[in-house]
Structure 1
Amino acid sequence: MTDSTAAADAREAPAPPVGYRALLATAEVRRWLVVSLLAKLPVAMAPLALVFLVRDSPGGYTLGALLGGAYVVGEVVGAPVLGARLRGIRQRAQLATGLAVGAAAFASLAFCASEPAAVSAVLAFLAGAAPAASSGSLRAALVEIVPKENVTRALSVETTLTQGIWAVAPALVAFLALGTAPGAPLGLAAACAAFAVVGLRLLPIGRAPQDEAAPMVGGQRPSLVRALAAGWPVYLTSAAAMALLATAELVMPALLQYRDLPVGWSGPLLTVFSASSVAGGLVYGMRDWPGDPRRQSLVLLVVMAVFVALIVVLPGLGGIAVGLLLAGAFKSGVMVTRNLSLRAWVPSDMLAAAYSVMYAVQGVGYSLTASIAALVLAHTSPPTAVVSGAVLTLLLTGVSALAENRRTAPAAN
């Protein structure tokens, strides 16, 4: 091999991924972290903040649940509808408009708590729907910012940030609502969304070129609808992951009471689950793991489901804590690998829309599992509800695995 050939090979070889410290030292990544924090915090605070807003009103907790439901429905509707429009150079303006409308809706809720329930429900729906595409767009922007060899580590950072926000948001809402005013958490949510609008100017959103290497249909680039539909096995396993999360969160108080354990430990145990997920996201991004992201995701989901199911038989509070600790450690890995897998099915300039669709499917998965858990609890026992959630996850994972294997088999021939 000549010196010139060796030099050419060295130039073509991909650079090794950088560590977390070097990644976070990048100015664009730091700006992305700030904007993402501002955009995600309102989402994590909103459901509980709406409950605290009206808990002392005539409607009480029932009205709070209604408003929380309207907010989630807004997210589920807004993410795919608005996310499908996030393409090209107009993406930044569309995203900024959605966050601005969300900020206005949050502020209106904070200062208009005495309005009729119908008005509050409409505002809650707008607060959920208008900025719902921001999560997918910001994730796509992060993928644009970093070199290809650092995408896995960057998505691990994004997942860790998300899990950390969801871990601290309930305590922050309770502190503000009880320590200052019932509308204070929603006021903070409005301020965060407004500042996120300003921060969007600093991010390279909507600059992704058309991906000529993306999957082709009949020798041509697929339409937006076909490209988004191509990722349905990925969406399915994302819903499966949310089914496990819903099972762990919603059935925990009933499970503790069923096992004659203090119900007050529900919060600390779920905090263990969230904290473990934060650590798991960082660990996953530290090195390369065997297999491609698709296979890793399926394996991680199965392992996570097993550990969630084990909490019904592990002895005492310590056993439940161990089960949740281990399940949470694999949760972030599931989310990172799903995000990586989706990139293989969707052209890069449609990735923001695809991530938004996946976000909506996750909300559907959580809501559907919540309904199933309530139905099971009404007729059987909490352990049965936990096992049912784990079985549902395994079934969804199996369907996704079969679909992805069939689709990837021709390429291997």
Structure 2
Amino acid sequence: MSYRDVASRQVLIWACTAVGARMPVAMAPLALVFLVRERPGGYSLGAALAAAYVIGEIMGAPVLGLRLRPARARLHLTGGLACGAVGFAGLGLLPDTPSAVLCGFALVAGAAPAAATGGLRTLLTALVPERAAAQALSVESMLTAGVWAVSPAAVAGLALGVAPRVPLLLAAASMASSIAGLWLLPAAWGGDDGTGSGARAGGASLLKVLTGVWPVYVTGAASLALLGLAELVLPALLEQRGIGVGWSGPLLTGMAVGGGLGGFAYGLRAWPGRLRTRSVLLMAGVSVCVTAAALSPSAAVIAAALVVGGTLQSGAMLTRNLSLREALPSDLLAAGYSVMYAAAGAGYAATGSLAGALLREVAPSTAILAGVGLTLALTAVGWWGEVRVAARPPRDADGAAASAAAGGTAPAPGPAGGVEGSVEGMGARGAEGCG
């Protein structure tokens, strides 16, 4: 089990495709603010456009993810990415149109390609041996961290140095290029028959199976909530401490670099303990780091806390993706990852909204501490839910016994243990089919 298992031409093509699809996502919020900042009420309009984009992502990811079928994966992803490229191009080509039209373009740009993250993640794990799933997801984490480290500087430089519309036109071109990459990758993955019936073993519906692993989504939302908290409140915190607000960019870049290092370290070895236990410990570590950043008057301590926090947050998110992989059948992984994407976006938005509301009444450091409290509460709820799911008997145990009594062949029981235990029993064939 090493990174050599993911070193292949197909994975390299996947990486280029993923960068093309995800760079626009990382660029969008800041690019939308720069696009309209010189119009009357520009910053408020920019915030509204960014909100429309995020709402599009949160709505589009679960809706389109549920419709994503492994047998027709390429066609689904191509359609979404093409519509997303049109949305970005509309924003870049028509920046002076009425606000409602711009909001419509932003909504389309966020919603249409929202299932691509889950689809591409599932495709990546199908390109590597089963034993290398953790390494493949670590590579994805490093790639994502790199994209997020580069994007803010690229947006600011192009918007201020060339023209405000250029970052959005670049985003449109980048997303369109990812479509070309898809045609060099497999058209499908897994063993889905393509019927899209949503029927599962024991008669469980697609939606019921997906919602049955809700604790993973809750802790996934918590893991991104702290990242959003740090990004959104950091400028105000630096001002409170008498540190130049211009340092917010380099500090956030350092946090993104830490995320890449965390993804790399996680894939170097097999870590002990259950995934849910690792997740809680990592989230506790991230909370300590963000708390230290909030309370420290030193720029050096804030920088170090954010780098370490980014490193731990990357590991926490990886545990959530691995838990989901073990919890769901292979033909539902893309849908599950899409729901996780929406949940993480909702956690980001909720914590940011809480901090934004509190900033009107309390100091930035206090707002950050309130966000940490919300994140810890979400983590506790998710952990409690995973323990409850692990304690339940397998859903199809009675049906298997009845089948055996009637002379049928009972399926072999799955392994035991957490959402990675009783849920492993639900999703063992999913883990096999993805490898």
**What does 1:362-373 align with in structure 2 at a 5 Å threshold?**
362-373=344-355
Partner amino acid, structure 2, of 1:52: F
Tell me the secondary structure at the aligned position of residue 202 of structure 1.
coil
Give, in whole Å, the separation in 2 of the partners of 1:25 and 1:258: 46
Unaligned runs of 5+ in 2: 194-198, 394-415, 418-435
Alignment match of 1:303 (pick from 285, 300, 309) = 285
1:141·1:205 contact (CA, 8 Å) conserved in 2? no
**Offset of residue 278 of structure 1:** 1.1
d(CA) in 2 for partners of 1:258 and 1:89?
A: 54
Q: Check whether the contact 2:200–2:206 (CA below 8 A) recurs between aligned residues.
A: no
Distance 1:312 1:106 in 2: 36
1:131 equivalenced with 2:131 (yes/no): no
Secondary structure at the counterpart of residue 312 of structure 1:
helix
Q: Indicate yes or no: 2:86 matched with 1:75.
A: no
Report the AA paired with residue 108 of structure 2: L
Instruction: Give how far 1:221 is off.
Output: 5.7
Asked if 1:18 corresponds to 2:2, the answer is: yes
Q: Which amino acid aligns with 1:277?
A: G
Counterpart residue number, 2:294? 312
Select the residue among 53, 56, 59 that pairs with 2:38.
Answer: 56
Which residue is equivalent to 1:209?
191
Counterpart residue type for residue 164 of structure 1: G
Q: Which residue of 1 aligns with 2:163?
A: 181
**Partner residue, 1:214:** none
Return the alpha-carbon distance in structure 1 between the equivalents of residues 163 and 252 of structure 2: 26
Moved more, 289-298 or 39-48: 289-298
1:147 maps to what in 2? 129
Q: Structure 1, residues 354-407: CA drift from partner, whole Å, max 9, x if none?
A: 100110111111111111101222222222111111111111111111111121
Question: What SS is found at the alignment partner of 2:202?
Answer: coil
What SS does the corresponding residue of 2:142 show, helix, strand or coil?
Answer: helix
The aligned counterpart of 1:353 is 335
Q: CA deviation at 1:296?
A: 1.2
AA aligned opposite 2:90: S
User: What's 1:121 paired with?
Assistant: 103
CA distance in 1, matches of 2:126, 2:82: 24
Q: 1:384 aligns with which of 338, 357, 366?
A: 366
| 8 Å Cα contact 1:137/1:205 also seen in 2 | no
Q: CA deviation at 1:109?
A: 1.3
Cα deviation code 1:266-311 (max 9, x no counterpart): 2222222111111111111111111132221121111111111112
Q: Aligned partner of 2:79: which letter?
A: T
Of 401-410 and 114-123, more deviation after overlay is shown by 401-410
Q: Which runs of 4+ in 1 moved over 3 A?
A: 410-413
- Residue type of the partner of 2:2? V
TM-score normalised according to structure 1 size = 0.90
1:11 matched residue in structure 2: none
Greater CA drift, 83-92 or 260-269: 260-269
Kept in 2: contact 1:308–1:327 (CA 8 A): yes
Check whether the contact 1:160–1:278 (CA below 8 A) recurs between aligned residues.
Answer: yes
Q: State the alpha-carbon separation in 2 of the partners of residues 205 and 338 from structure 1.
A: 26
- Alpha-carbon distance in 1 for matches of 2:111, 2:182: 19
User: What's 1:30 paired with?
Assistant: 12
TM-fit CA distance, 1:66: 1.4
TM-score (normalised: structure 2): 0.86
Separation in 1 of the partners of 2:95 and 2:200? Answer: 55
C-alpha deviation, 1:204, in angstroms:
2.4
Amino acid at match of 1:84: L
Gaps of 5+ in 1: 1-16, 212-216
Q: Does structure 1 retain, via aligned residues, the 8 Å contact 2:70–2:192?
A: no
**CA distance in structure 2 between the partners assigned to 1:84 and 1:385 by the alignment:** 36
| Separation (CA, whole Å) in 2 of partners of 1:107 and 1:257 | 36
Deviations 1:175-203 (Å, cap 9, x if unpaired)? 22222222111111111111111211222
**Structure 2 SS opposite 1:84:** helix
2: CA distance between counterparts of 1:205 and 1:332?
29
Calculate percent identity across the aligned residue pairs.
50
Contact 1:280/1:333 (8 A) holds in 2: yes
Q: What is the match of residue 356 of structure 2?
A: 374
Q: Corresponding residue for 1:225?
A: 207
Q: Note if 1:397 corresponds to 2:397.
A: no
Residue 23 of structure 2 contacts residue 147 of structure 2 at CA under 8 Å; is this kept in 1? yes
Name the stretch that deviates more: 198-207 or 327-336.
198-207
**Deviations, residues 124-161 of structure 1 (Å, cap 9, x unaligned):** 11011110110010001111111111000110000111
Asked if the contact 1:227/1:345 (under 8 Å) is kept, the reply is: no
Partner of 1:41: 23
In the alignment, the residues of structure 2 paired with residue 222 and residue 179 of structure 1 have an alpha-carbon distance, to the nearest angstrom, of 55
SS of the residue 2:40 aligns to: coil
Aligned residue type for 1:281: G
- Note the C-alpha offset of 1:106: 1.1
CA RMSD of aligned residues (A): 1.8
Residues matched between the structures, number: 390
Match of 1:164 among 146, 157, 162: 146
Structure 1 position 94 matched with structure 2 position 83: no
Amino acid at match of 1:53: L
